[in-house]
Structure 1
Amino acid sequence: MSTSWQSEVSPDPIKINGFGWGLIVLRCVPLALLIFGGLLVLLTLRLFERPFCGLRRPITPFVTQFVCRNALRVMGIGFRTTGNLMRNRGAVVANHSSWLDIFALNARKRIYFVSKAEVANWPGIGWLARATGTVFIERNPKKAREQTLLFEQRLKADHKLLFFPEGTSTDGLRVLNFKSTLFAAFFSDHLRGFMFVQPVSVVYHPPKKEPNRFYGWWGDMDFTPHFLKTLAVLRQGSVELIYHTPVPVSDFANRKKLAAYCEETIRLGHQTGRNGLQTAD
């Protein structure tokens, strides 16, 4: 994301009482053991997987999926999905609201995120991203052909790449306009013939008595306070994934039309998913 989205309303103040700090400790310890224990298992398996399978990863994505699904359980966050997973080769696109998106989207489907290059150098998160096969890209037109070739290699290896076309995260109450730049790679001569795209709406339902944007992480918000605030809630809310029907790239004249279709589909699913919310924004 090159420019972070900013809300007109300041983020809600973070207040954690003694009971909340107790919950943080109770959840942090098993969460750390799960994530870093899973990382150790993944890296060990990758030592054998890489020489025999090369770019393909027939085993290690199951480790990532197991860790992410159980991380949501440890945090106490509910998880549900509707719709069918795409079986075709291609990419997944979703709206982006929070760091929790990584856990939620990995929990149901074995995917590989496409992320800005800077993330690779972030302490902790960068290591996890590299280990799980994240594709790092630079927002540089001179790199467009090189990145298209990288996408081709990964997609032909049956990797499901996941893009956030908004280019930034939000408060979870809206879907921003999609940037069509990354969709251009799907229209290359080597991909357009077999490539499918599946839109996914990510909807967060907040804990009771908490604002609807409770799980949103945007703008200049620091990760650590938001992470601690999330763990400090006894009765968590939930995240819902709505998988829409995959569409063949060849059905669209150009990247802008495909991006517009995905944006409209995801926005409608997001609005529908949020209809049941009754807490105040």
Structure 2
Amino acid sequence: MLQSLRFYGRVARLLAVIGLGVLLALWVGLRERAGAGDLMVSRQRLTRWFLARLTGALPFRVRVSGRVPEQPMLWVGNHVSWTDIPLLGAVAPLSFLSKSEVRAWPVAGWLAHKAGTLFIRRGSGDSGLVGQQLARHLGHGRHLLIFPEGTTSDGSHLKTFHSRLLTSAVETGVPVQPVAIRYLRDGQRDEIAPFIGEDDLLSHLVRLLRSDLAEVEIQLLEPIPSQGLSRTMLSQKAKSAVQQALFGEVRDEALAA
């Protein structure tokens, strides 16, 4: 009985937050139609405010270590779940790069679009265009977050960091901010939070809301200067930093060019 009440209470709180997000997105849309000009700074600030409320509606206890950079950087992190985005987006004003499938998600995809998320189709050959958009964002002094693995994992290991996604940092001379995120339950790797395989958003969300609180550790690691590095070297350094933070080891693996 108490578990059911807790579940429905969480659902009610989450729906209230999503409703607030819809109102914010509608307001941004109205300002766009009124010709308010470049709204990206406002979008990032509003998105951070909204994602902080969304994070509060999820069953997580979050601990952040490290310093949030003041200068614009390309944030590069491991990817475990769709929840990585609200959790990291609540830490700093960020724009995001996401797979195109997210754009089709009911409500969430529309909110992501209004927040200024860039979408990429895997294997479609449009990475060059996306790279230009990323470079433009960084060149305008805006933080960006990408997941160079290109997909999620169960949190037990890192996949290949695709170095082409770091080209924008090399071209603009913007440093890379490595980020390591880890989900724990009772001191062990959380098996509920990962969004993998054939998971769909609604089923995964229900499982989360029915679960007990999980611990989330977010580590903002030492920034990596991009000057003088190739995208492959930059990707290798970023992956090594995240690998060391999560697993205390560095593996030499082939990187995708």
Judging changes above 3 Å, is the alpha-carbon distance between structure 1 residues 68 and 144 closer, same or farther for their aligned structure 2 residues? closer
2:100 aligned with 1:117: yes
Query: AA paired with 2:243?
Result: R
In the alignment, the residues of structure 1 paired with residue 2 and residue 228 of structure 2 have an alpha-carbon distance, to the nearest angstrom, of 54
Equivalence map 1:25-64=2 (5 Å): 25-45=8-28, 47-48=30-31, 51-54=35-38, 56-64=39-47
The alignment partner of 2:45 has SS state of helix
The CA RMSD measured in Å over matched residues stands at 2.3
Residue in 2 that maps onto 1:256 = 232
5+ long unaligned stretches in structure 1: 1-17, 273-281
Structure 1 pair 156/210, CA: closer, same or farther in 2 (3 Å)? closer
- Displacement of 1:23 in angstroms is 2.2
Distance in 2, Cα, partners of 1:244 & 1:46: 35
Measure the CA separation in 1 of the matches of 2:128 and 2:79. Answer: 26
The answer to whether the aligner puts 1:199 opposite 2:185 as a matched pair is no
- Which deviations, in whole Å up to 9, do the C-alpha atoms of 1:38-97 show, x marking residues without a partner? 33124314533783441x433332332222222232234111101111222231011001
Question: What TM-score do you get using the length of structure 1 for normalisation?
Answer: 0.79
Q: What's the counterpart of residue 80 of structure 2?
A: 97
Q: How far apart are residue 148 of structure 1 and its match?
A: 2.6
TM-score, length basis structure 2: 0.86
Q: Distance in 1 between the 2:165 and 2:128 partners?
A: 11
Q: Please name the residue that 1:24 is paired with.
A: 7
Aligned pairs for 1:120-269 within 5 A: 120-140=103-123, 142-188=125-171, 191-192=172-173, 195-206=174-185, 208=186, 212-233=190-211, 235-252=212-229, 254-269=230-245
- Identity percentage of aligned residues: 26
- What CA distance in whole angstroms lies between the structure 2 residues aligned with 1:85 and 1:211? 25
What's the secondary structure of 1:266's corresponding residue? helix
Higher relative contact order (CA 8 A, sep 6+): 1
Match of 1:14 in 2: none
